């Protein structure tokens, strides 16, 4: 096809810290049936990739020579047989249903199934596109499709300064719901208010009982209709006291890996949320992409970019920054 047959690619041959990430030339096959070749313009980092590299993610890398990465933005360079919805030159974002060892997107070029890419609007630049897909899709799937959040509902978002949390504030606002945000860090209060949180509850060392009490006070005693929880652990049960009668918890992250008990204020609905269940169905992919792109096009969704590194060679530095937890928002590497 006249395309380059190798591309600079991040590979790792053993589990470990950022130093195990190497840049090597990897073969780029022609896209097969139902596949597309993407020229990557920017990558967005996720916590999942630090866990995968260290061997603590929910599935293990195949070593040696594992690839890495879910999220990128780029341009379609070629399409394989049977691909009818995409063509060379189309702008895309990657993410849905990627198996990182074989398909990781930390590379200058990558071949993916067409189901692993979604279209990126013309107005969305590469850096913004690399920071958008996973966070907004998770917030959309959990808050709208799973919890059925309605306009006027109060939504308590824990760990709200996370990538997903910041997106969830904007998603709640977009549908007319009222986001309340928690953080452990006083310094993040103003930023969360600026993003659209109605109230920010700084938990400090005081725990979930205080968060629940404060939530009830801020909602006139009623509590929230929906809790969107990133943390789990021993705080999960007392956090439930923040719910209005018959409320719903969507539990999507385990930033505190210790065991969690269900809330006691029954009747209560507790859902766990996993993105792949939504985005590996054609309908789920269509609805979540339409929601994301509508928000990106009209400026309602503004991904928070923490830091941009230039060049694949900076990948170790980018991972070190993620593990320092000093950033807020997404870390992006521009290719
Ligand atoms: N289910 C799904 O489909 C899905 C999809 C995407 C992500 N996730 C999960 O969602 C979680 C968040 O991911 P992310 O990439 O958005 O996070 P992130 O950007 O790494 O942010 C995490 C934030 O949460 C707070 N935090 C960290 N550890 C905590 C702890 N032990 N207790 C309380 N707060 C803590 C910190 O904020 P403060 O310092 O402000 O408190 C931190 O800035 C992860 O567990 C991830 O695996 C799940």
Report the chain's mean pLDDT, rounded to a whole number. 95
Count Cβ atoms within 10 A of the Cβ of residue 89 and give its class: 0-12 exposed, 13-18 middle, 19 or more buried. exposed
CA dist 99 and 268 (Å) reads: 34
Q: Is the pLDDT of residue 3 over 60?
A: no
Mean pLDDT on 235-262 = 95
* Fold category of 135-274 in CATH: Rossmann fold (3.40.50)
Q: What is the pLDDT of residue 262?
A: 95
pLDDT over 90 for what percent of the chain?
88
Nearest partner of 170 among 200, 194, 190, judged by Cα: 194
Question: What's the 138 CA to ligand 1 centre distance in angstroms?
Answer: 12
**Mean per-residue pLDDT, 63-83:** 98
pLDDT at 28 over 60: yes
* Average pLDDT, integer, range 22-50: 97
For ligand 1, the distance from its centroid to the CA atom of residue 47, given in whole angstroms, is 8
> Region 309-331: what's the mean pLDDT?
92
Q: Would you identify the CATH topology of the domain 6-131+304-334?
A: Quinone Oxidoreductase; Chain A, domain 1 (3.90.180)
Angle (CA) 160 230 183, round 5°: 35
- The SS3 call for residue 103 is helix
Nearest CA to ligand 1 atom 40: 183
Pick the residue whose CA is nearest to atom 45 on ligand 1.
253
Q: Ligand 1, residue 322: give the atom nearest the CA.
A: 20
Could you tell me the pLDDT band of residue 285, with boundaries at 50, 70 and 90? very high
Among residues 269, 302, 277, 286, which one has the least CA distance to residue 174? Answer: 302
Report the alpha-carbon distance of residue 104 to residue 11 in Å, rounded.
9
pTM for the whole thing? Answer: 0.92
Closest CA to 333 of 135, 131, 117, 156: 131
User: In which band, very low, low, confident or very high, does the pLDDT at 76 lie, cut at 50, 70 and 90?
Assistant: very high
Q: Is the pLDDT of residue 205 over 80?
A: no
The pLDDT value given to residue 194:
95
Q: What is the mean pLDDT of residues 170-184?
A: 97
Q: Has residue 94 got a pLDDT over 80?
A: yes
The mean pLDDT of 145-150, rounded to a whole number, is 98
pLDDT band, very low/low/confident/very high, at 2 (cuts 50, 70, 90):
low
Partners of 156 in the β-ladder: 180, 227
Q: Residue 94 is encoded by which pair of tokens?
A: 């990657």
Q: How far is the CA of 254 from the centre of ligand 1 (A)?
A: 7
d(CA 299, CA 291): 12
Residue 31 CB burial class (10 angstroms; 0-12, 13-18, ≥19): buried
| The two three-digit tokens of residue 161, written as one number | 């300064």
Q: Find the mean pLDDT for residues 189-205.
A: 93
Within a 10 A sphere around the Cβ of 74, how many other Cβ atoms? 30
| Residue 11 scores a pLDDT above 60 | yes
The pLDDT assigned to 4 comes to 60
Section 185-213 average pLDDT = 92
Predicted confidence at residue 162, as pLDDT, reads 86
**Domain ranges, ordered by start, for the chain:** 6-131+304-334, 135-274
Sheet of 224-229: strand order equals 199-202, 178-183, 154-157, 224-229, 243-251, 269-272
């Amino acid at each position: 096809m006249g395309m380059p047959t190798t591309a600079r690619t991040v590979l790792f041959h053993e589990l470990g810290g950022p130093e195990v990430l190497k840049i090597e030339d990897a073969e780029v096959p022609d896209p097969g049936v139902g596949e597309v070749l993407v020229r990557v313009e920017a990558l967005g980092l996720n916590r999942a990739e630090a866990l995968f590299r260290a061997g603590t993610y929910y599935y293990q890398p195949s070593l040696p020579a594992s690839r890495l990465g879910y999220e990128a933005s780029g341009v379609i360079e070629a399409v394989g047989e049977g691909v009818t919805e995409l063509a060379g030159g189309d702008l895309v974002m990657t993410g849905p249903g990627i198996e990182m060892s074989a398909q990781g997107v930390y590379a200058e070029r990558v071949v993916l199934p067409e189901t692993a890419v979604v279209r990126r609007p013309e107005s969305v630049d590469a850096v913004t596109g690399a920071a958008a897909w996973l966070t907004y899709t998770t917030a959309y799937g959990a808050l709208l499709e799973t919890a059925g959040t309605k306009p006027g509902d109060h939504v308590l978002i824990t760990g709200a300064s996370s990538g997903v949390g910041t997106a969830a504030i904007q998603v709640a606002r977009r549908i007319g719901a009222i986001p309340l945000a928690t953080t452990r860090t006083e310094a993040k209060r103003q930023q969360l208010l600026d993003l659209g949180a109605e109230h920010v509850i700084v938990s400090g060392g005081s725990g979930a009982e205080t968060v629940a009490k404060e939530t009830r006070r801020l909602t006139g005693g009623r509590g929230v209709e929906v809790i969107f929880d990133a943390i789990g652990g021993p705080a999960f049960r007392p956090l439930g006291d923040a719910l209005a009668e018959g409320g719903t918890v969507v539990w999507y992250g385990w930033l505190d890996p210790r065991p969690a008990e269900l809330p006691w204020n029954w009747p209560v609905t507790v859902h766990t949320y996993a993105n792949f269940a939504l985005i590996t169905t054609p309908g789920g992919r269509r609805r979540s992409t339409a929601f994301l792109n509508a928000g990106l096009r009209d400026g309602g969704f503004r991904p928070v970019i923490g830091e941009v590194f230039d060049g694949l060679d900076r990948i170790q530095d980018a991972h070190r920054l993620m593990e320092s937890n000093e950033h807020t928002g997404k870390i992006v590497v521009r290719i």
